[in-house]
Structure 1
C-alpha cells in the first residue's frame, strides 16, 4: 500500500491506496473557509494551516488503518503548486520515510489529475489497453487548462493549453465581477442553472487555422464591458442569464477544441479531470460529444476532481515512470512543474 500526501495549495490531505488502485482510506481538511474572507488563497496562511492540520490527519490514519503496518512507500505532491505548501508536504513525507524505513517518491500533481478518471476502473495496467488507449484527456482547474493524449505505454503529450487565464481562473474572475464571493465558480454554476445561456453573445476565442490553444482573458474583459453598460436594476433582472451566458461561452471553447481533436484521430476514451470538471454542465456537454463520437467518456469521480491525496497515491501506483525519486534525499518541490516534466 502507498500513503499519498497532498499539500499543493489549500487542501491538507492524506490517503492510502493499495496495489490494485483501490482507496483504502482518505482524510482531508479543507481551508476554503479560512481563505474566503480574503477573496482567495493566502499562501502564508495556507502553510500555517497545513502545519496545523497534517498531524491530526495522520493520527486518524494510524487509528483507523494501523499505519505504518502494510505501507510500502510514501507518495507526495512535489509540484506544481505554492512553494511553501509543497515544502510542508515534502518535509512531512521525508520525515515519515526516515521514521518508518520506507521510500518516498514525488508525484506530479497534474499527472495525478490526468490519471484520476481511471480511478473507478482500478489498476490501469490490468485494463485491456486497446479499449481505452489512445486516451484523450482534458484537465480543467484554476491554474491549468490542458488537452493531452495518453498512449498505451502511458506517456503523456500535451496537444493544447491556455495562453493566458485558465478556465477556472476565468470563471472565478467572472464570478467576482458578478459580485459572487470566493470561491466563485461553484456559485456561478448554481446561478447559471436558471439562466438563458444564449441571452448574451459573449465572444468565443477562435485560434488560427491548424492551431490548438485556449484563451479566456478576452471573455473576462467582455463581461466587464457588458456590466459597465448596464444599470444595476438591469443586471439584477437578468442576473442568471449573465451567469449562464458567461459560463457557456467558456465551455463552448473547450467543447469545440475537443471536438476538433476527436475528429482528427480515433481515440478510445476521453477523460475529464480537475476542479472545474466538478461542474455538471461541462460534464453534460462533453458527455454528449463523446456519445456522438462513440468515445468512452471517463469523468473523474466528483470527489476526486479537486486536490486530493487519493489521486496522488493512485498515480504513484499507475504512473511509476512519472515519479521523482528521493535518492540521496534529493527530492525537492518544483512550483512550476509541467505535466510532461519527468525526472532525469
Structure 2
C-alpha cells in the first residue's frame, strides 16, 4: 500500500483596489513529491503572492529509498486528482483558468517528470494558456526572492550578480548568477550529491525515515552537549589518534589528488559512506559479535560525519573564493560585484550548515564589503511548486519565453544551458501584456 505525507499552506490575500493582475498554476514532480501551487502577481518586479500550496510525498522508507518506477506510478495516480481538488478549491476551471502554467521540465527522474509535464500540456491545450517548462534548480535558486516570513522578514532579495550554494539530494553546485538566464557553475560535484550522501550515511547507521538527512540532523541535535564537546575535540586524522580508531578526512586534501582536478574545483561526497562501511567491516564489527554500533559510537560517527561533510563544503567554497576573488594576485576577478550569498535546496534546511556557512566562509577573499546571506524559509528549502511558479513567471516576463508543447522532460539539464535547450519559443510583447495584466 502506498502511504503519503500531505501538507498544505494557505495565505490570505490582501484586499486589492484593482484587478490588473495575473495568476500562475505551478506543478512539480521531479522526484518523490507531487506539488501544486497557485501564485498571483499584482505589480511588475515585485514578488508574487503565494495563494496556496499543496504537497503529497511518496512514502519510501520501507524499501530503503526512492524507486523510480514506484515514484512514476505514484505521480500518475496522484497529480490529476490532486490538481482537480486544488482547482475546485480556488475556482479554477475552463471558464476561469490561470493565466500561466509552470511545470518542472528537469532535471530529475524521467518518469516522475513526465507525469506532470504531460498533464500540464493537457491543461495548456484545454485552457488555451501559455506553458513554461522550468529548470528545477533555477526554482531553488530564486526562492530567496520571496519574502521571508520567519527568519528574515525584512531582508531584501539578493541582487545580481550573486553566488548560490544549491544543495539537495540530487545536486550540489556553487553557481554564479548574473541574471535570470546567465549562470556559471563555479563548483560542481564529482560523484553524488550532499543530500544523497547524508541519506546513505544515516541509513548505514540504522536510521529510518522518509527524509533520512533530516533524521540524521535530529539525531545529532539530541546528542548531549558534553558528548558533542568530546567528539569535537577528538582527533580523527589517524586511527591511533582516538579510542574509537575512527578515521575521517576531507576529500581533495592529499598530494595524490590535490585541491583541484581536471574539472576544476569540485565537491565529492561518496567517500563519507564508504568510510563508515569500511570502519564497520574492518575496525568495529570484527571486535563485536552483534554487528551493530553501540549507541555512543553511533552518536560519534553521526556527529563527526555531518561536521566533515559540511566542512568539505566550506573548504571547497573558500578555495573558490580565493581562486576567483579580488584580493589575491592569482584571482581572475570572476566574482567582481558579488555581494550576496544564497543557500537553498533541501540540505539548506539544516541549521548546522547555515551556522557553519555564516561563521566559516572567508568572504574577505573577494573584497572588503560585508556579504549578505540569504536563506529561504525552511518550508521552501525542500522541493515545492511555489519555486517553480516563481521561476516560470520570471522566465515568461523577463526573458519573454514560453515552452512549445513538443517539449520532452530533461533528466539532465545543466543550469548554464538554461536557454540553449530545444522547445523555447519567443513571446511577443502583446502576449506578455495579455497575460500580465498590469
Contact 2:180 2:395 in 1 (8 A): no
Describe how 1:17-32 pairs up with structure 2 within 5 A: 17-19=39-41, 20-31=47-58
Confirm whether residue 101 of structure 1 aligns to residue 128 of structure 2.
Answer: yes
Q: Which residue of 2 aligns with 1:227?
A: 280
Structure 1 pair 281–98 and aligned structure 2 pair: CA distance change class (3 A) = same
Q: Which residue of 1 aligns with 2:35?
A: 13
Unaligned runs of 5+ in 2: 1-22, 42-46, 150-154, 237-247, 326-334, 365-369, 421-438
Alpha-carbon offset, residue 222 of structure 1:
1.7
Between the aligned partners of 1:213 and 1:291, the Cα distance in structure 2 is: 18
Q: Which moved more, 1:265-274 or 1:1-10?
A: 265-274
Q: Which residue of 1 aligns with 2:13?
A: none
Q: Which residue of 2 aligns with 1:203?
A: 249
Structure 1 pair 83–233 and aligned structure 2 pair: CA distance change class (3 A) = closer
Structure 1 pair 24–48 and aligned structure 2 pair: CA distance change class (3 A) = same
Describe how 1:180-259 pairs up with structure 2 within 5 A: 180-182=207-209, 183-193=211-221, 194=223, 196=228, 197-198=231-232, 199=234, 201=236, 202-206=248-252, 208-209=258-259, 211-228=264-281, 229-230=283-284, 231=288, 235-259=294-318
Unaligned runs of 5+ in 1: none
Deviation sequence 1:122-156 (CA, Å, 0-9, x none): 9xxxx989x72321100111111100111156521
Secondary structure, counterpart of 2:206 in structure 1: coil
Alpha-carbon offset, residue 84 of structure 1:
1.2
Q: Which moved more, 1:56-65 or 1:9-18?
A: 56-65
Between the aligned partners of 1:218 and 1:326, the Cα distance in structure 2 is: 40
Confirm whether residue 330 of structure 1 aligns to residue 406 of structure 2.
Answer: yes
Describe how 1:107-122 pairs up with structure 2 within 5 A: 107-120=134-147
Alpha-carbon offset, residue 233 of structure 1:
7.2
Q: Which residue of 1 aligns with 2:106?
A: 79
Between the aligned partners of 2:105 and 2:310, the Cα distance in structure 1 is: 30
Between the aligned partners of 1:323 and 1:249, the Cα distance in structure 2 is: 43
Deviation sequence 1:298-337 (CA, Å, 0-9, x none): 112111111111000011122447797433x212111111
Between the aligned partners of 2:235 and 2:77, the Cα distance in structure 1 is: 46
Deviation sequence 1:267-297 (CA, Å, 0-9, x none): 2111111111111110111123469752111
Alpha-carbon offset, residue 64 of structure 1:
2.8
Between the aligned partners of 1:234 and 1:75, the Cα distance in structure 2 is: 47
Secondary structure, counterpart of 1:28 in structure 2: strand
Contact 2:167 2:194 in 1 (8 A): yes
Structure 1 pair 184–343 and aligned structure 2 pair: CA distance change class (3 A) = same
Contact 1:251 1:282 in 2 (8 A): yes
Confirm whether residue 67 of structure 1 aligns to residue 85 of structure 2.
Answer: no
Structure 1 pair 180–186 and aligned structure 2 pair: CA distance change class (3 A) = same
Deviation sequence 1:237-295 (CA, Å, 0-9, x none): 32212101001110001112223334524521111111111111101111234697521
Secondary structure, counterpart of 2:392 in structure 1: helix
Alpha-carbon offset, residue 213 of structure 1:
0.9
Between the aligned partners of 2:169 and 2:410, the Cα distance in structure 1 is: 18
Contact 1:175 1:188 in 2 (8 A): yes
Alpha-carbon offset, residue 342 of structure 1:
2.6
Confirm whether residue 162 of structure 1 aligns to residue 198 of structure 2.
Answer: no
Tell me how many residue pairs correspond in the alignment: 336
Between the aligned partners of 2:141 and 2:61, the Cα distance in structure 1 is: 28
Structure 1 pair 296–323 and aligned structure 2 pair: CA distance change class (3 A) = same
Contact 2:318 2:362 in 1 (8 A): no
Q: Highest CA radius of gyration, 1 or 2?
A: 2
Which structure has more relative contact order (CA 8 Å, sep 6+)? It is: 1
Alpha-carbon offset, residue 51 of structure 1:
2.0
Structure 1 pair 132–326 and aligned structure 2 pair: CA distance change class (3 A) = closer
Q: Which residue of 2 aligns with 1:275?
A: 346
Contact 2:148 2:377 in 1 (8 A): no
Match 2:374 to one of 280, 295, 298: 298
Secondary structure, counterpart of 2:108 in structure 1: coil
Normalized per residue, which structure has more helix?
Answer: 1
Alpha-carbon offset, residue 22 of structure 1:
2.1
